Every structure is written in structure tokens, then in C-alpha cells.
Chain A
Amino acid sequence: MREIDPQSDGPMENDQLTQALRQLASSSRQGAPAAVGMGLATAFRRHHRRRKLVRRLNVAAFVGCIAIAAGLLSIRSPHQQPQNQQTHEGSGKIEEKPAKALSAASVAGTPARPSAKRVTPKAAPLVASSVRREFLALPGYDPGVPAEQLSVVRVQLPASALWQMGAPVSPDSGARKFMADFVVAQDGTPYAVRLVQ
């Protein structure tokens, strides 16, 4: 590794000086005292112990944050779930709205249908499947009437008539007839409807 200085003016003297310097270098081949090395090794261990601790604390903090976030989400979810269910049911039972519309119309005494506002998807089934086997309360339902005063009447009516009464059928069905069970009071007021077909 040693390089000869090309600019030396006196080769012999320069060589002697180089030898002298080499001797000086070899005479001072000592390194740092052992205490320095031991101190540094201790510092190294301490540093990495601290680093590991900090890393673990960071991981713990991260996990804690995730746990808190999950906890907050789980607290909020019971409130959100009914909304989701309502939304889901609303999209599934697209024919429940006519019942409410009918009730509003009958209260106001106007039999006209808000047909212009209704938007029915073309791919929607004629009858919502989830309401075929269960009675759906109609706007005139009175929960105070005892069960023994009620009776079930099976009728076959056009879809438009059923829709006007609040039954969950599509108005697009037109003149197509459906079999339906009506829960009626003694005075003939329909309280609930169930589609048989």
C-alpha cells in the first residue's frame, strides 16, 4: 500500500526518513485501551436493549390503537345495524311503500295513487318473495281489536286492486290476478294481507 513519493529530491535521505517513519509506525502499534472497548460494548448492548424496548413499545402502541379502533367500531355497529337492515329490507320489499302511500291517501280521503313518483325496477319480481308467506299489516290495522273478532278471507283480485289496498304486488302486473288472504275485522276493514300465489 505504501507509495513512493515521486517528487522526492534526495532519494537516499527520503528513503531513510521513510524507514524512520516506518519504524515509528511499528513502534506505536498500540490501539485504544481495553477499557474503551469494554465501555463501547456496554454502550452497544444498552443502545440495542433500548432500541428493542422502544420497538416493542411501538408495536404495543400500534396494537393498542387497533384494539381501540376495533372497540369503537363494535360500539357503533349496534346502532348502524338496524339502519342497514332497514335499508336491506327496503330494497328487498319494494312493495311495502304502496301500503304506506295508501294509508296516507286514505287518511287524506284521496284515492288517487302517487303513481308518478313510483319507480319500480324492471327486473323486480311481481311479488316480493319474503312477504308471500306472512301477513303484512295494512294501514287500517288496529292492534286493539281482539283476535277472536278477526277472520281470514281468501280472495282473488287483480294486481292493481291488491296494490291499491296495500298488498305487496307490482302495479306493472296490471290485470293479472293474485290469490290473497286478508285478515278482516267484523266490519269488513282489512287489517292485513298475505299473498297465497
Chain B
Amino acid sequence: MEESPLEDQELLRQLCKGNETAFTALYERYQGPLYRFALHMSGNTATAEEVTQEVFMLLIGNPKGYDAEKGPMSGYLFGIARNLTRRVLQRSRLDMPIEEEWLDTGEAGFTSDLDVLSELSNSELLEYLRKAVQALPEQYREVVALCDLEEMSYADAAALLECSAGTVASRLHRARGMLKSRMLKTGLSSEKCVK
């Protein structure tokens, strides 16, 4: 995600004045990453849509809520998306069951019949990786979604998650370890995923 803070600020200034083109430009720039972040975090397209919509509704309602001195626009928007996603997850209690559900059904299915695995297509393997990501505990899922899937730098992720870059790296390391072990448990090595 390429960021140009000055351009973002100019777009935001125009947005404040009611310039719809500026709003559209900002929306086009950030809606994808925000939507995907919410989708990776929740595993639910409806939640991702709701979160994306809410983020931009807040931006429309209070464009001056963003302070350029506190960080980039992306960090501000991701921060809102993160809070909204967490709220939705808490409300719908989707957080806990995903891991259990997937581990139960997944492990049972794949350890019992390894021949089926070789028949799985690459997209199916990616689907399992996606589910493995969604099954991670929230704090690890966040760093994977931000740093691995949205290619955000450790520093930006640290600013967004309000922790140090070292903590982000540590969490990411732990998250990858969990993913690897989970894939191995299910018989799906990451090698297969990328073949």
C-alpha cells in the first residue's frame, strides 16, 4: 500500500470542503486494504463490508478527527477498522469458535485420509491457510493480516497496534510458528501450498 501523506492530507482537506472526487480517491485508495484486513480478522464478508462502511462513514462525519502529526492516514483508518472489527467480533463471538471448529473438523478430515490431500487444488490449500490464519488468536492474527497479507512495515504496524516494533516481530514469529505447526498437523505443508 503506497502512501503519500501530503496527497492524503490534500485529499482530506478537499473532502472537508465536500469534494466528492477527493472522497472517491481516498475510498479507492484505502477500501481494499481495510476490507481485506477486516475480512482476515473476522473471516466474514458481511463484517468486512460493515467495517469498511463504518470507517468511511466516520471519516465523512468527522474528517478532522485525523491528526497528521500522529501518523499516516492509513494508520488512522486501520486503527478505526481494528477497533470496529474487535467490537463486532466481541459482539458476535466469532472469535473463539472459529479456531475450535476448524481444528476439529479440519484435523479429523485430513489426518484420516491423506490421499485426499494430494487431490486438493492449490486454491483449496490456500483456503485452508486462510482458515489457519483466521484460527489464530486475535493478537497474532492482527500482525499476520497487517504485515504478511497487507505488507505493512513493522513500524507502521507497531504504531497501529500501540506496541513496539520488536513486539510486532515477536508476535509475527509466534504466529508463523503456529501456522506452520497447524499446517503440519493437518498434513498440509506450506510447501504444498506454494507448489
Please name the residue on chain A nearest to B149 by beta carbon. A25
CA distance A31 to B45 in the complex (A): 10
Q: A23-B194, A31-B32 are in contact. Are A43 and B60 (CB under 8 A)?
A: yes
Which among A3, A8, A17, A40 is the interface contact of B154 at CB below 8 angstroms? Answer: A3
Residues of B within 8 A of A29 (CB): 32, 36
**Which listed segment binds A: B64-72, B99-107, B167-175?**
B167-175
Is residue B126 contacting chain A, with contact meaning CB distance below 8 A? yes
Indicate with 1 or 0, residue by residue over A54-76, a CB within 8 angstroms of chain B CB atoms: 00000000000000000000000
Residues of B within 8 A of A47 (CB): 60-61
Is residue A104 contacting chain B, with contact meaning CB distance below 8 A? no
Is residue A5 contacting chain B, with contact meaning CB distance below 8 A? yes
A-B contact pairs, 29 of them (CB 8 A): A1-B1, A1-B152, A2-B147, A3-B169, A6-B169, A8-B173, A16-B191, A16-B194, A17-B183, A18-B148, A19-B190, A19-B193, A19-B194, A21-B149, A24-B126, A24-B130, A25-B148, A27-B126, A28-B130, A29-B32, A32-B35, A32-B49, A32-B52, A32-B53, A40-B23, A41-B24, A43-B57, A43-B60, A44-B60
Which among B18, B53, B129 is the interface contact of A40 at CB below 8 angstroms? Answer: B53
CA distance A8 to B193 in the complex (A): 19
Is residue B10 contacting chain A, with contact meaning CB distance below 8 A? no
Given A44-B23, A52-B18, output 7 extra A-B contacts at Cβ < 8 Å.
A1-B153, A5-B172, A18-B148, A23-B194, A29-B32, A29-B36, A51-B18
- In the complex, are the beta carbons of B151 and A25 less than 8 A apart? yes
Residues of chain B in range 9-26 having any CB-CB distance to chain A below 8 Å: 18, 20, 23-24
Residues of chain B in range 25-41 having any CB-CB distance to chain A below 8 Å: 27, 31-32, 34-36, 39-40
Q: A32-B52, A44-B60 are in contact. Are A17 and B180 (CB under 8 A)?
A: yes
